[in-house]
Amino acid sequence: MPDAMPAGRALDFIAMGRAAVDLYGEQIGGRLEDMTSFAKYLGGCPANISVGAARLGLRPAMITRVGDEHMGRFVRETLAAEGVDVSHVKTDPKRLTALVILGIRDRETFPLIFYRTDCADMAIAPDDFDAAFIARAKALVVTGTHFSRPDIDATCRTAIRHARAADTKVVFDIDYRPVLWGLTSPGLGENRFVASDTVSAHLQTIVPLCDLVVGTEEEIHIAGGSEDTLAALRRLREISRATLVLKRGAQGCIVFTGPIPNRLEDGIVGPGFPVEVFNVLGAGDGFMAGLLRGWLTGADWTESCRIANACGALVVARHGCAPAMPSWAELADFLARAAKGETPAALHEDARIAHLHRTTTGRKPWPEVCALAFDHRWQFEELAQKHGKGAADIRHVKKLIAAAIRRAGEGVRGAGVILDDRFGRDALHALSGRGLWIARPVEQPRTTPLVYEHGPDITTTLRAWPAEHIVKVLIYYQPDDPPELRATQEQRVAGLLRACVATGHEFLLEIIPPRSEPGADGASVIGAVERFYAAGIRPDWWKLPPLPDAAAWRKLGDIVRANDAQCRGILVLGQDVSEAQLMDAFDAAADEQAVRGFAIGRSIFWGPAAAWFAGEIGDAAAIDAVAENYARVVAIWRARRRRG
């Protein structure tokens, strides 16, 4: 029978302890000494568990500390973005956020260096939380490292006392890292086991306080004080009535709720999933997130173990720890396929799982986008030339437009821009990191087939972009284009999508039918979308011309949903139409839920920009006019959206 959980709690669990930044070497198969670039991720066992559980639909919180610096803000913002309660993530004014540098040498070797000397999360103090906060949760999760020093040990025991007084379950992830107990040199961070009677005796003062204890065989050995697994389990049972969960990697896990049997296999066995191991780091945290998802929602141990083992299998197939945690959508898909015997062994090469993971994890929600598109280049060049102006003037006008969107977009949910870096680099820098939806073009204007503006090596180009920037490409395309041209266009767009996946950027595909007036040929646009899906290309966003009526939008929405349920949505473009035409376009699109907003440009900025170049208005007037036009278009869109 599942354990009875305290009812009426606002939080499923509170995790206490490590919250760090992982710097993962990007070169696979080499020494850490030889790695030349690193990916930055959230890390630390409790932080990983919290993110994993949030992705599975639980309501976790963290008690930890971060430094008053950039890495600390990254940790806090990442946890919050994932849905973790950060009300008790305190900022330490004196200490730095912990760092971990690690790599993947091979399937058995994962070099790892902890930078945790006097780090922020080891300074958690009893006044960082209170009994009332602990009582808000069904469970408190504590981990081994935070019992390795007297001060932090005392703090964790205070939290445990609060939990026991409030009938909050206490969960202990042994998470044994010998280096963090001072048992190895700092350069042996990857070492997972060093026998120590002192550590064993200390852990045995914690286990009796817990309701659930989870560890690998090595961790059960250190907690139980014996390298014989059954003997270690029996010692833990002598001192505690806690449910004991033994993690066995590819073999799955075994749960012991009562007396320890004569054979391990006589416990509750949760079979593993046979998958190819890419990176074991973080797999145990994924396992714990899945176990908590089952246990805290009333599932029996068989089902809880099935969820936990599946989460571990998905994590071992990926780079990183916290970002590798699966969503409920991909977990459900994985388990459904496994039930049919369709589990792919090489999960890291499975396109279906990769797409689900990419599109259901770690993404800021954008239920609506109201974007001012001013990535135009050749249009500005012609306008500037007409008035005897040059590139510097174009850059200045784009700064003015950026200033307008900063003003008018404040308070507008989904305010955003599409902006180039040829003339808009300074404006891009000014707008980045402010919560705006930002897309950025890669195409060389007026090229068919598609040519990239910064050269053919698009992956290298995108690696220099902030992760929040969405990759936008405009192509002129119709389903009845000559087969050779159509194939070339599709191949280049597919290559661009692969580059976006490799660099962690979202992808926006804008299609312009070259031989059609805006809105005149819905069949051409719908056919183009169908063609790209048939070619295996699933953009995160579509930017499309207005379609002639609501029926055409419904048909298009059905196509998007049938081919990619995770698509972010469609944005309606404008192509310098009048406000009356915009009203008609928005009216037609208003009741189609796949349409998430607009990306309108010249209808908003062209008049003020032309007046500025002509010397008819100054900077302030240009900003005012663009801001007013943008606000008016937002109002038009929202009026039609509400009506729809």
The tokens for 189 are: 């961070």
- CA-based nearest residue to 382, from 610, 576, 617: 610
> Which residues of the chain fall below pLDDT 70?
1-2, 514-521, 643-644
- Secondary structure of residue 253 in the 3-state scheme: strand
Q: The whole model's pTM is what?
A: 0.93
- CA-based nearest residue to 564, from 599, 588, 597, 530: 530
Query: Helices marked H in 323-457 — which ranges?
Result: 328-339, 351-360, 378-386, 391-408, 425-431
Q: In 10 A of CB 354, how many CB atoms?
A: 16
The tokens for 213 are: 């204890």
Between the alpha carbon of residue 88 and those of residues 17, 19, 65, 233, 235, the distances in Å are: 11, 12, 8, 34, 35
Report yes or no: 565 and 538 within 8 Å, Cβ to Cβ.
no
Q: Residue 545 and residue 364: Cα distance in Å, rounded?
A: 25
Q: Mutual orientation of helices 283-296 and 301-315 as an angle, nearest 10°?
A: 150
The tokens for 392 are: 């510097």
Q: Mutual orientation of helices 378-386 and 391-408 as an angle, nearest 10°?
A: 120
Q: Residue 449 and residue 471: Cα distance in Å, rounded?
A: 18
The tokens for 44 are: 């630390």
Residue type, 418: I
The domains found in the chain, sorted by start residue, are: 11-20+44-97+120-360 (3.40.1190.20), 369-643 (3.20.20.70)
